[in-house]
Amino acid sequence: MRQVLQDTKGVVEKKMFGGTVFMWKDKMFCGIIKDDLMIRVLEERYADLVERTYARPMDFVKSRPMRGYIYVALEGLKTEKQLASWINWGKEYAEKSPPKRKARKKTIATKRISK
C-alpha cells in the first residue's frame, strides 16, 4: 500500500481500528484491518463495488455494516494493479466527498465585571 501511495502528496499513516489506516485531505480512505483491505468509497459507488468478488460490507461493528466502507479480502489483491484500483476508489472518496464539519468549540459564558 505504501508503494502505491508513495506519489500521493499529503497521505498520512495512522494506527486505528487495530490496524493501519491512511488519511488524505483529512479523510480516512483506506487501510489494513486484520487481514482485509478497508476502503471508504463514495455513496453512489458503494452498491456496485461491494458486489465485486472478494468484497463485502465492512462489518467492524457486528450489529450493522458501516455504509460506505468496504472490506476486500487479500485473495482479491494479488497484483499491484488490483490493489491500486481499490486504493483509487478510496482516493476518489477523499477528493470528492464534502469537507468534514468542524466541531463547534464550547464556550463558557462569562460575565464582564467592571471596575
CA separation for the pair 16, 73 (Å, rounded) = 19
Residue extents of the structural domains in the chain: 2-96
pTM of the prediction? Answer: 0.80
d(CA 20, CA 18): 7
Burial environment of residue 5 by CB neighbours within 10 A (0 to 12, 13 to 18, 19 or more): middle
2-96: what fold?
Aspartate Aminotransferase, domain 1 (3.90.1150)
In this predicted model, what pLDDT tens digit does every residue of 52-103 receive, in sequence order?
Answer: 999 999 986 666 777 899 999 999 999 999 999 999 999 999 999 887 776 6
97 in helix, strand or coil? Answer: coil
Res 108 pLDDT > 60 = no
How do residues 59-72 score in pLDDT, each as one tens digit? 866 667 778 999 99
